């Protein structure tokens, strides 16, 4: 999955739930928005996220990202879960409040394609 240019709404900076987490967790959240798909989904891999979001800050490694994700989950900003394939996933629960997608990426999975082609 490729990172996308995303717009963060100004209201995000007045979010009580974002204000309740550390600045590191808040920056991790903003970084997640750039990495997640249009539906706010991404793999829950702290080491990969640390490399993507904190590559020039070696003091913010996988352990720090794991802590940031725990803070975000506690504030119901993200949900962490296991998929049917046994892999860990993240879902940004508040993406509609904090993000505007100007150009959707389109259909990324067979399931999405099938759900869009079915008659109501």
pLDDT in tens, 28-83: 999 998 888 878 899 999 999 999 999 999 899 999 999 999 999 999 999 999 99
- Rounded Cα distance, 58 and 50, in Å: 9
pLDDT exceeding 70 applies to what percent of the chain? 73
> What is the pTM (predicted TM-score) of this model?
0.75
**What band does 98 get if pLDDT is binned at 50, 70 and 90?**
very low
Q: Which has more pLDDT, 86 or 8?
A: 86
């Amino acid at each position: 999955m490729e990172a996308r240019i995303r717009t963060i709404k100004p209201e995000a900076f007045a979010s009580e739930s974002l204000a309740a987490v550390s600045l590191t967790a808040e920056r991790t959240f903003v970084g997640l928005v750039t990495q997640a798909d249009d539906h706010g989904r991404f793999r829950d891999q702290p080491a990969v996220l640390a490399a993507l979001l904190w590559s020039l800050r070696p003091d913010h490694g996988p352990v720090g990202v794991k802590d940031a994700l725990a803070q975000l989950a506690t504030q119901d900003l993200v949900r962490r879960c296991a998929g049917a394939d046994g892999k860990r996933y993240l879902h940004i629960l508040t993406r509609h409040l904090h993000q505007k997608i100007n150009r959707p990426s389109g259909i990324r999975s067979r399931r999405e394609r099938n759900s869009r082609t079915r008659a109501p």
